[in-house]
Amino acid sequence: MLKGNAIVGQSGGPTSVINASLAGVIDGAKKFAGIKKLYGMNYGIEGFMQERLIDLSAQPAAVVKGLRMTPSSSLGSSRHKVKEEDFPRIMEVLKKYDVRYFFLIGGNDTMDTINRVEQYCRKNGYELTGVGIPKTVDNDLFGTDHTPGYASAARYNALSVMQGGILARDMQRVDKFSVYQTIGRDAGWLAAACAAGKTDEASAPHLIYTPELPFSKEDFLKDAAACVKEYGFVSVVCGEGIKYKDGTPVSASRTKDKFNNTEFGAMGGASAALNLHAMLREAYGWRGEFQITESLIMCAADRGVANDFSEAYRCGIEAVKLASKGESGYMVTMKRISNKPYRISYEKAKLSDVAVKAKPMPLDYLTADGNFVSKKFFSYLSPLIGDMPGYVRLKQKFANKSKSID
């Protein structure tokens, strides 16, 4: 058995449940004799290279338990893209602190970091076990049915659009439309989830646009006008990364992050929602609203799904189990066994198969016209987010029976 210390870090955007995974690693490490002490990276791999290591083995039991329901990234996150010149320093710190077990909680860029660090150490004769723990509200990691954090973010979005739709319905004499933008650079899992609160044809949302299919301005304006004619208003949802047929982002943003990804919500860049808002205003002269949630869905523990917290914690436990078996170069995954009852198993995927790539929604999760989701997607989503609240509407019975809603 390889013996030494362990390090765990959190990377990229946080989620409501990422700290539950951290708690799982802490609890799992206590039960594994191969780990003498567990450190935490303060501000990810960037902080690790600066030797900003937090002693997680010394944390009070109450703190570790509390992490399971605490949002955001308690260790502090980072979006530092590891460069070739970083690797000697990374291995120097690993050796200095006798780190033999390397865990990172994150998305596809994070899995790339673990993969590259593990390969570099192997190439240079330093024995290191590297295991990834999935995390991303975008739900775009290959190899896993879903990611911890997605269910809670999906429910947050669904509730927001559902409740905002009721507001839009009742305010249609003032505002004819609302546009709600979700995060999701390359995949529309969160935008699609906004349909979960729809109760009938007239209720929100009416139109959903995801990055998987090209966006057509002409079709959008035509479909929005049809909804306003039929329902009195239109509720639109768009993913931040939607693009025209030629690949141009609807956001038209030119701002990039350190991984060369477009910063759709960045200052200095436009946003898809604002541009859709402008299209409707300019075409029809309507007044309307837009909502851009950005990081709010990443830290809303009050709307978190209980099972999401549990699965995130279990993924941390399972990562230590993989490491204890000497299985390096893998990410913990979840495989769905059944929907009714909802059951999953915990498995593994090679980091090389997960790193950097983004998993789009299957096209059969979207309708043929590309502006809504299919029944198959609802079957996938419903077990993850649970039942939505039931709201009522006044019966349209007027004292003057000749009156009607126009």
Q: Does residue 163 share a domain with residue 294?
A: yes
How far apart CA 216 and CA 209 sit, in angstroms, is 10
10 Å Cβ neighbour count for 271? 23
Together in a domain, 192 and 293: yes
Residue 99 lies in a domain: yes
* Token digits of residue 294: 């950005």
Shared-domain flag, residues 346 and 378? no
CATH number of the domain where residue 378 is located? 3.40.50.460
Going from the C-alpha of 98 to that of each of 35, 82, 307, 342, the distances in angstroms are 10, 21, 36, 41
β-strand partners of 336: 344
Whether residue 165 is found in the same domain as residue 184: yes
> pLDDT per position in the chain (406 positions), as tens?
899 999 999 999 899 999 999 999 999 999 999 999 999 999 999 999 999 999 999 999 999 999 999 999 999 999 889 999 999 999 999 999 999 999 999 999 999 999 999 999 999 999 999 999 999 999 999 999 999 999 999 999 999 999 999 999 999 999 999 999 999 889 999 999 999 999 999 999 999 999 999 999 999 999 999 999 999 999 999 999 999 999 999 997 545 566 666 555 444 446 999 999 999 999 999 999 999 988 889 888 999 999 999 999 999 999 999 999 999 999 999 999 999 999 999 999 999 999 888 899 999 999 999 999 999 999 999 999 999 999 999 988 888 877 655 4
Residues 6+ apart with CB under 8 A from 59: 26
Residue 338 CB neighbour total at 10 angstroms: 9
DSSP 340-385: TTTEEEEEEEEHHHHSS---PPPGGGB-TTSSSB-HHHHHHHHHHH
Instruction: Tell me which residue has tokens 């009050």.
Output: 302
Q: Is 256 helix (H, G, I), strand (E, B) or coil?
A: strand
Cβ atoms of 290 and 181 closer than 8 Å = yes
Would you state the pLDDT for residue 295? Answer: 86
- Element housing 116 (H / E): helix 108-123
Q: Among residues 106, 142, 88, which one has the least CA distance to residue 259?
A: 106
CATH code of the domain containing 33: 3.40.50.450
Strands 343-350 and 330-338: antiparallel
Tell whether 295 and 308 lie within a shared domain: no
C-alpha dist (Å) from residue 240 to 132, 160, 212, 306, 379: 27, 16, 12, 27, 24
* Structure-block tokens of residue 273: 């929602």
Biggest CA–CA distance in the chain, Å, is 86
Query: What is the predicted pLDDT for the residue at 119?
Result: 95
- How far from the centroid of its chain's Cα atoms is residue 344's Cα? 19
- 394 within domain boundaries: no
Name residue 244's beta-bridge partners.
215
Please indicate, yes or no, if residue 390 is contained in any of the structural domains: no
The span from the first CA to the last CA of the chain, in angstroms, equals 75
**What residues make up the domain containing 160?**
153-301+360-385
- Answer yes or no: are the C-beta atoms of 209 and 242 closer than 8 Å: yes
Within a domain: 399 = no
Out of 138, 186, 223, 308, the active site residue is 138
CA distance 257 to 247: 19
Residue 318, both tokens: 């399972």
Indicate if 330 and 376 belong to the same structural domain. Answer: no
| Residue with tokens 């009416």, as numbered in its chain | 206
**Residue 112 annotated among the catalytic residues of the structure:** no
Let me know whether 162 and 63 are in one domain: no
In a domain, 397, yes or no: no
Q: Are 43 and 18 found together in one domain?
A: yes
Helix, strand, coil shares of the chain, percent, nearest 5, are: 40, 20, 40
Both structure tokens of 321: 């189990």
- Could you tell me if 282 and 184 lie in one domain? yes
Is the domain of 37 the same as that of 164?
Answer: no
Question: Could you tell me which residues come within 8 angstroms of residue 38 by beta carbon, excluding any fewer than 6 positions away?
Answer: 5, 6, 7, 8, 25, 26, 29, 55, 56, 57
Domain count, the chain: 2
Task: Look at the block and give the residue holding tokens 């949630």.
Answer: 293
Domain shared by 230 and 269, yes or no: yes
Q: Rounded distance, CA 175 to CA 44, Å?
A: 44
For residue 215, what is the DSSP state? B
